[in-house]
Amino acid sequence: MTDLIQSARAQIAGRMIEAVRRIFCQIQQGVRKGTVPVSSQHALRVVAIAHGPHTKAVLRTAALYEDWHLLLAFSAEDALELLRGFAVDVLVYDYDSGGDWRRLCSDCVDRGVGFQLVANIPSDELFLEAIAAGGLGVLWKPLTLEKVNSAARLARSFAEAQTCTAITYSDQQLKSTATGAQDPRNAGARRMHP
């Protein structure tokens, strides 16, 4: 009888978790498609390291028209402080800023933040290196509103996918805990070390 009650509880918990995940993902998709109004707290949050006046002007203009929260950083260290202190969706990094963009890209990937590189003359090698490091790609200078908005849509999709993936993974963990099942990754480790 106890097993039957636990099984029923696990099924109910699993259904509730699945319903909440589905509703959350539908809301996220509705926001992306524009069917749900985006409040200022859900506006795209962008941190940018840009030294050229044209790049800064295009980013500020895009932020104004698209209602982003744009924070300008003057160095990689400033950007890291902003990443630690605020929820950020994407970091835009001007390749001409100097410094180690790879380390900053790695920090962004670890935090689930999109990393967009901007360069004067991007090569295929630089593009592939940025993608391999976990970045979203490389934008060519001079930037235009179209390029920046396209990259922002990609970053928003990336952020939404990260959120839905994290929710799905959490759902699976909760379901396995509710049913008493072991995480398959841990189960193998236990078998190897009795």
Q: What residues does each domain of the chain span?
A: 40-155
Tell me if 87 sits within 8 A of 45, measured CB to CB. yes
**What integer is the mean pLDDT of 91-106?**
92
- Answer whether residue 186 shows pLDDT above 70: no
Q: Give the contacts of 80 (CB within 8 A, at least 6 positions apart).
A: 104, 107
Tell me if 9 sits within 8 A of 33, measured CB to CB. no
CATH entry 3.40.50.2300 includes domain 40-155: yes
| Three-state secondary-structure class, residue 48 | strand
The per-residue pLDDT for range 139-149, each reduced to its tens digit, is: 999 999 999 98
The per-residue pLDDT for range 52-87, each reduced to its tens digit, is: 899 999 999 999 988 899 999 999 999 999 999 988
Give, rounded to a whole angstrom, the gap between the first and last alpha carbons of the chain: 31
At position 79, the amino acid (one-letter code) is A
H or E stretch including 31? helix 2-33
